[in-house]
Amino acid sequence: MSEKLTKLQEELKKIQNLNHITSLLYWDMKTIMPKEGFGRHSEVLTAFSTDCFKLETSDELYALVKELNAPCEYESLDDDWKFIVKRMLRDMEESRRIPAEFFSEMVQAQAESSVAWEEAKNASDFSIFAPHLEKMISEQRQKALYMQPDKDPYDTMIGWYEEGMDVASIDRIFEELKKELIPLVKDILSRPKTEDARFFRPTDLNAQKQLEKVLLRYIGFDFNKGCTGESEHPFTLELSANDVRVTNHFQETNPIDPMFSAIHEGGHAIFEQNIKPSLDGTAGGSCSYMGIHESQSRFYENILGRRKAFWIPIYGELQKILPTFADISIDDFVKEINHVRASMIRTESDEVTYCLHILLRYEMEKEIFRNNVPVSELPVLWNQKMEEFLGVTPANDAEGILQDMHWSDGGFGYFPSYLLGSIYDGMFLEKMEEELGSVDEILEKGEILKITAWLNEKIHQYGSTRLPKEVIEKVTGKPLSSASLIRYFKEKHGK
Ligand SMILES: [Zn+2]
């Protein structure tokens, strides 16, 4: 190994150590930190994040990475390291344009904004969050312009979460989907359906937590390399492939949502736990493409988790853990988890209307960054779009614009990833069935780990070293299109 590469690995270790600390602070802040601990906690988080940012963008590291990109050094590297040094050079050139002072102000503002959002959501009062949202919008726009001065800021933001995508490419596939989906959803919603109150009976929280562990283990989550926690909004956090953590949000009278959150976050975690160890701590060692990431969580949650065959091997155990399900047949359960409703809340919605919730957020972000719609007009615009897409209007902002945490820390451009993930899933499912045979048969036999192994081999092990477009082409052999997802929805929900 070249001397320069050894030096780079040492530098990466220092960065990895700082990242480890900031991630642990973040985990603590989101799971168990007492409210009053926030001030000091966010100070420390800002300090460590800023140190890490300085290290990541330092002149010494930049010089070293540039040397490793010179032909004589570059050619001696293996494919993974070629990817890593090339990626580092590009990332550094972009992030070195962000002034360090701006960076720490931004981290501080994000932490404050998250707290204000939570308060606003609990009080259903948009005015508490509005000034913070305004700041998040202007800071993210500024950050995008620092990093890529010649590019449209919203295109840049989309690229942060799904490299290679921009408004033009997303519009093309989303419009195709929207055209088919709005009439399909109208048709489904027009069919008579009754609510089954048995699914909303108070269910012991500890039993729900026990079931979460059973579900995670069932799909292939490795508890030697991961653990669970609780937070307002479920998320997955990876410290390394050997320490991947998931959270959940339990509610006494809604036991089904946490089951699907567990399966969803479990899908993210399985991805991270199975990235090859040689990539650990490098730019390839965690999947940074959120569309690809969401495709994995949503594959488990929807493509697998909403099939009867998924539940056949474990429904008896579920009924034992949750006695409130003892009088519910598996068929009634499967009907409920596929019940298409015009729900106000994205995270509580079914797999079909979910897509419309994302289209709405994507259109909102375009209004913000492309049409400069003022923050004060956003709640009304949100409600109008809900009426247009799903025929319902939120009664208040808590069930409208305040419901998601993403914008609270400046995560604009993330939402399209969820829908891209589902679109990829339609394509992955077709290929998987071509290679492994019927997914229903595999699941029914209790062999879900065969599916996990297929995903490990085809997708997970590579981490970030394959761009989203390459993943799609290598796995499916086809260019990106929503046709497979549309076909899947029509077959499943059309009649
Ligand atoms: Zn997710």
The rounded mean pLDDT for the chain is 95
My answer on whether 97 and 177 are in the same domain is: no
Q: Residue 490: what pLDDT? A: 95
The span from the CA of 417 to the CA of 383, in Å, is 22
- pTM of the shown model: 0.92
Q: Which of 344, 279, 244, 245 is nearest to 87 (CA)?
A: 279
- What is the 428 CA–ligand 1 centroid distance (Å)? 17
Last residue within a domain, chosen from 97, 123, 151:
151
Q: Residue 421: what pLDDT? A: 97
The stretches of 373-495 forming alpha helices (DSSP H) are 378-390, 415-436, 439-444, 448-458, 468-476, 483-493
- What is the 432 CA–ligand 1 centroid distance (Å)? 21
Residue/partner pairs of 338-343 with CB below 8 Å, 24 or more apart: 338/306, 338/492, 338/493, 339/193, 340/185, 340/188, 340/189, 340/493, 341/189, 342/189, 342/390, 342/391, 342/392, 343/390
The span from the CA of 323 to the CA of 333, in Å, is 14
Identify whether 409 is part of a domain.
yes
Q: Residue 109: what pLDDT? A: 95
Q: Residue 445: what pLDDT? A: 98
Q: Residue 104: what pLDDT? A: 87
My answer on whether 126 and 172 are in the same domain is: no
Give pLDDT tens digits for 106-148: 989 998 999 999 999 999 999 999 999 999 999 999 999 999 9
Give pLDDT tens digits for 239-276: 999 999 999 999 999 999 999 999 999 999 999 999 99
- What is the 397 CA–ligand 1 centroid distance (Å)? 23
Identify whether 161 is part of a domain.
no
Lowest mean pLDDT among 10-19, 206-215, 430-439: 10-19
My answer on whether 26 and 51 are in the same domain is: yes
CA 114 centroid distance within chain: 17
Please give all residues whose CB falls under 5 A of ion ligand 1, grouped by chain where several chains appear.
Answer: 297
Cβ 412 vs Cβ 368: under 8 Å = yes
My answer on whether 93 and 216 are in the same domain is: no
* Average pLDDT of the residues in 338-367: 95
Residue 1 confidence (pLDDT) above 80:
no
Q: Residue 410: what pLDDT? A: 97
My answer on whether 175 and 272 are in the same domain is: yes
- What is the 73 CA–ligand 1 centroid distance (Å)? 38
Q: Which of 63, 65, 54 is nearest to 8 (CA)?
A: 65
Identify whether 476 is part of a domain.
yes
SS3 226: strand
- What is the 216 CA–ligand 1 centroid distance (Å)? 15
Lowest mean pLDDT among 53-62, 279-288, 361-370, 446-455: 279-288
Give pLDDT tens digits for 380-401: 999 999 999 999 999 999 999 9
The span from the CA of 344 to the CA of 389, in Å, is 11
* Average pLDDT of the residues in 308-323: 98
- What is the 247 CA–ligand 1 centroid distance (Å)? 11
Give pLDDT tens digits for 271-308: 999 999 989 888 888 999 999 999 999 999 999 999 99
Identify whether 365 is part of a domain.
yes
The span from the CA of 388 to the CA of 182, in Å, is 9
Of the pLDDT bands very low, low, confident and very high (cuts 50, 70, 90), residue 348 is: confident
Place of tokens 């490793």: 68
350: phi then psi, degrees, rounded to nearest 5: -75, 175
List for the chain the helix, strand, coil content (%; round to 5): 70, 5, 25
Q: Residue 488: what pLDDT? A: 96
My answer on whether 344 and 381 are in the same domain is: yes
The span from the CA of 162 to the CA of 295, in Å, is 12
My answer on whether 188 and 116 are in the same domain is: no
Last residue within a domain, chosen from 83, 117, 151:
151
- What is the 294 CA–ligand 1 centroid distance (Å)? 5
The domain tally of the chain equals: 2
Cβ 414 vs Cβ 290: under 8 Å = yes
Identify whether 157 is part of a domain.
no
Q: Residue 283: what pLDDT? A: 80
Residue 377 confidence (pLDDT) above 90:
yes
Give pLDDT tens digits for 34-91: 989 989 998 998 899 889 989 998 999 999 999 999 999 999 999 999 999 999 999 9
SS3 393: coil
Q: Residue 2: what pLDDT? A: 85
Q: Residue 323: what pLDDT? A: 95
CATH code of the domain in which 477 resides: 1.10.1370.30
Adjacent-strand bridge partners of 236: 246
Identify whether 224 is part of a domain.
yes
The stretches of 191-307 forming alpha helices (DSSP H) are 205-219, 256-273, 290-298
Last residue within a domain, chosen from 151, 177, 207:
151
- What is the 195 CA–ligand 1 centroid distance (Å)? 27
**Residues with catalytic function:** 265
- What is the 248 CA–ligand 1 centroid distance (Å)? 12
My answer on whether 136 and 178 are in the same domain is: no
Identify whether 156 is part of a domain.
no
Identify whether 160 is part of a domain.
no
Residue 376 confidence (pLDDT) above 90:
yes
Of the pLDDT bands very low, low, confident and very high (cuts 50, 70, 90), residue 350 is: very high
My answer on whether 206 and 84 are in the same domain is: no
Domain that holds residue 16: 3-151
My answer on whether 174 and 114 are in the same domain is: no
My answer on whether 71 and 194 are in the same domain is: no
* Average pLDDT of the residues in 462-480: 95
My answer on whether 124 and 176 are in the same domain is: no
